[in-house]
């Protein structure tokens, strides 16, 4: 679950929608294939079964007509009369008898398109009537091939002979070898008293047309199966053939009148055999079809469904990507804007979006940014006012401190009747405060700050006499830079008060200014008493602490440091270097 949650919105939509939709398409395709496959198989089997059934019905009707015609001849009175008269060996057929026999054949002659020839033998000792193509011949035949030993009542049984050569045609015309299917009835009360035969020869072409006409499949065929053999006309590939003996054996072993069986031939091909039984003679009519051809439409459907599924998969991927873009693009644009806000850029253009959830969110963020801008402007104004107030407060904190000390010195000069020196100090103090005011400016050029320091040194020389000297070395380039006014005076005051006061030798203060790495640096060096390592560490630690105060660094130093940081940044301000009895160096850094 976390794998999905940690992905982008578009990726999440694709990871969820595509597999689910593909699963749905696959499941639908699979069930469609299974249903279509089952239905096609049922339809194929039904179609073959209908073909077999219709062919069986047609053949049965035609053969029933032949049996009916044969029965009519058998029961004809004229035939009975002639048969009775010819039992007398001395009786010779008269012309009228021949006409009578022709009438018998004419009255019951069946469908001429179906019948190849008829044979009427009424007495073993006499010639038989053989009719073919409307011509009647007298022939001498033997009934032995037609006698069935197993027949117990030959006078009431119709017999059938499967496809065979017509013996009469082959006997009298050696150039012809026509094949026929025969049905006949022996005349006589039992096997020992057979005296004749009524026989119909059915045309081979009739069965050929019937069995070849239905199109089962490329290598499927119809056949007639009897105990005497198989009648089949269509030539199929060897790999789809079944040996006649095997087909005959398995079909004749079936106990049902109709049904289907599967036979695997010697080539390993599964052959479906659908069969039915002719009621008139119990012959089997069977359709033999290779299963792979029977179900080739199933394979076609399978590949069609696979192609359709592939097309649907492509459509699903395209549509899911399209849908994900529609949903995610506005959110992505809004997210990028929010990332820009996180980077501190509030100057973002918000376009109008549709009146939906994304549009509401977009307007909410836009209004929030507008409100943040207002608040930031308000905060900046308040901070600026606070900074100015704090600077003014710091400056006022410094001015009374210095003013108090200077006035105290003037007081002492007056008390000592040093009026000229007191006047000079008052004049220096006046110039000092003139520069300090600087027309209300908080930031002044370094040159003015140096002039301000010169007045300060004048005041301090008058206070302390010749107990110290000073020198100022400033690079010309630094004089035009801006510095917070009253930066150096508190530092020089500390150098005089803390550094020079505790030494016996004459003190010296050196002020040096220069440019270093685009920053301005002013060094205030004295040769005073210096500081111990612990004092130095305390002062520097106090200056590095944002909550700097009077502790450690002292009131004046901490205020100067804080004013520099307020104007230039936290990396600027003061730092100290010192060691006992060697002096102290104050480093002022600004830009």
pLDDT tens digit string along 537-555? 999 888 887 544 445 667 6
Pick the CATH number of 215-294 from 3.20.20.70, 3.90.1170.40, 3.30.450.20, 3.30.70.270: 3.30.450.20
Would you identify the CATH topology of the domain 75-208?
Answer: Beta-Lactamase (3.30.450)
Q: Which residues contact 231 (CB under 8 A, 6 or more apart)?
A: 162, 163, 181, 207, 211, 223, 224, 225
Question: Per this entry, what is the length of the chain?
Answer: 591
Q: What is the DSSP string of 276-334?
A: EE-TTT--EEEEEEEHHHHTHHHHHHHHHHHHHHHHHHHHHHHHHHHHHHHHHHHHHHH
| Strand residue runs (E) in 134-282 | 135-139, 159-165, 179-188, 194-203, 221-226, 229-231, 259-264, 270-277
Predicted structure pTM score: 0.52
**The domain 380-590: what is its CATH number?**
3.30.565.10
Tens of each residue's pLDDT in the chain, 591 residues: 554 555 666 677 777 777 888 888 888 878 877 787 777 778 888 888 999 999 999 999 999 988 988 888 888 888 888 877 877 777 777 888 788 877 777 766 666 778 888 888 877 778 888 888 777 788 888 877 777 644 444 555 888 988 888 887 755 554 455 789 998 888 877 767 778 888 899 999 899 999 988 888 888 999 999 988 999 988 888 898 899 999 999 999 998 999 999 999 999 999 999 999 999 989 999 999 998 887 776 777 777 878 888 888 888 888 887 877 777 777 777 777 777 766 666 666 666 666 666 677 777 777 777 787 788 888 888 777 666 656 665 565 555 666 777 788 888 878 888 888 888 888 888 877 777 666 557 788 999 999 889 888 888 887 777 788 999 999 999 999 999 888 898 898 888 888 777 787 888 999 999 999 999 999 999 998 888 889 899 998 888 875 444 456 676 788 888 888 888 888 999 999 998 888 999 999 999
Instruction: List the chain domain ranges.
Output: 2-60+297-338, 75-208, 215-294, 380-590
Contact 256, 275 (CB under 8 A): no
Residue among 217, 242, 241, 244 at smallest CA distance from 231: 244
Q: Which residue from 106, 29, 497 is spatially nearest to 308, judged by alpha carbons?
A: 29
Could you give phi then psi for residue 446, rounded to 5 degrees? -60, -35
What is the tens place of the pLDDT at every residue in 67-117?
A: 988 888 888 888 888 877 877 777 777 888 788 877 777 766 666 778 888
Can 75-208 and 215-294 be said to share one CATH topology?
A: yes
**Which residue do the tokens 């022709």 mark?**
102
């Amino acid at each position: 679950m976390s794998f999905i949650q940690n992905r982008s919105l578009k990726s999440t939509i694709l990871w969820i929608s595509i597999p689910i939709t593909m699963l749905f398409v696959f499941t639908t395709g699979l069930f469609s294939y299974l249903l279509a496959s089952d239905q096609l198989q049922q339809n194929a089997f039904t179609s073959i079964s209908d073909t077999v059934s219709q062919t069986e019905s047609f053949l049965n009707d035609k053969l029933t007509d032949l049996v009916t015609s044969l029965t009519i001849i058998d029961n004809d009175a004229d035939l009975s009369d002639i048969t009775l008269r010819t039992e007398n060996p001395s009786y010779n057929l008269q012309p009228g008898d021949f006409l009578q026999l022709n009438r018998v054949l004419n009255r019951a002659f069946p469908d001429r398109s179906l019948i190849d020839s008829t044979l009427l033998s009424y007495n073993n000792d006499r010639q038989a009537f053989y009719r073919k193509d409307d011509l009647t011949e007298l022939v001498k035949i033997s009934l032995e091939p037609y006698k069935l030993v197993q027949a117990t009542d030959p006078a009431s049984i119709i017999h059938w002979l499967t496809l065979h050569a017509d013996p009469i045609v082959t006997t009298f015309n050696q150039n012809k070898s026509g094949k026929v299917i025969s049905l006949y009835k022996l005349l006589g009360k039992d096997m020992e008293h057979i005296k004749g035969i009524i026989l119909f020869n059915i045309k081979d072409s009739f069965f050929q047309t019937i069995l070849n006409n239905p199109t089962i499949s490329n290598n499927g065929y119809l056949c007639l199966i009897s105990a005497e053999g198989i009648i089949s006309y269509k030539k199929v590939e060897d790999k789809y053939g079944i040996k006649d003996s095997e087909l005959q054996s398995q079909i004749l072993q079936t106990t049902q009148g109709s049904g289907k069986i599967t036979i695997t031939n010697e080539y390993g091909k599964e052959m479906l055999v659908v069969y039915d039984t002719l009621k008139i003679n119990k012959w089997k009519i069977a359709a033999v079809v290779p299963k792979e051809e029977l179900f080739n439409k199933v394979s076609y459907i399978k590949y069609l469904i696979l192609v359709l599924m592939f097309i649907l998969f492509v459509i699903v991927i395209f549509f899911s990507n399209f849908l994900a873009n529609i949903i995610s693009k506005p959110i992505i644009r809004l997210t990028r804007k929010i990332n820009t806000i996180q980077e501190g850029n509030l100057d973002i253009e918000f376009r109008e979006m549709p009146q939906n959830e994304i549009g509401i969110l977009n307007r909410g963020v836009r209004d929030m940014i507008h409100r943040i801008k207002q608040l930031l402007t308000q905060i900046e104004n308040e901070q600026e006012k606070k900074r100015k107030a704090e600077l003014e407060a710091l400056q006022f904190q410094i001015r009374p401190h210095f003013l108090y000390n200077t006035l105290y010195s003037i007081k002492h000069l007056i008390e000592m009747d040093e009026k000229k020196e007191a006047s000079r100090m008052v004049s220096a103090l006046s110039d000092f405060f003139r520069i300090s005011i600087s027309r209300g400016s908080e930031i002044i050029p370094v040159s003015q700050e140096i002039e301000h320091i010169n007045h300060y040194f004048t005041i301090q020389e008058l206070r302390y006499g010749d107990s110290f000297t000073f020198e100022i070395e400033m690079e010309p380039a630094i004089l035009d830079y801006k510095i917070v006014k009253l930066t150096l005076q508190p530092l020089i005051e500390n150098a005089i008060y803390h550094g020079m006061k505790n030494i016996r030798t004459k003190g010296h203060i050196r002020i040096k200014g220069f440019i270093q790495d685009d920053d301005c640096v002013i060094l205030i060096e004295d040769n005073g008493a210096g500081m111990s390592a612990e004092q130095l560490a305390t002062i520097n630690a106090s200056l590095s602490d944002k909550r700097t105060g009077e502790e450690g660094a002292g009131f004046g130093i901490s205020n100067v440091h804080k004013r520099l940081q307020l104007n230039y940044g936290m990396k600027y301000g003061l730092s100290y270097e010192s060691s006992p009895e060697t002096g102290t160096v104050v480093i002022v850094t600004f830009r």
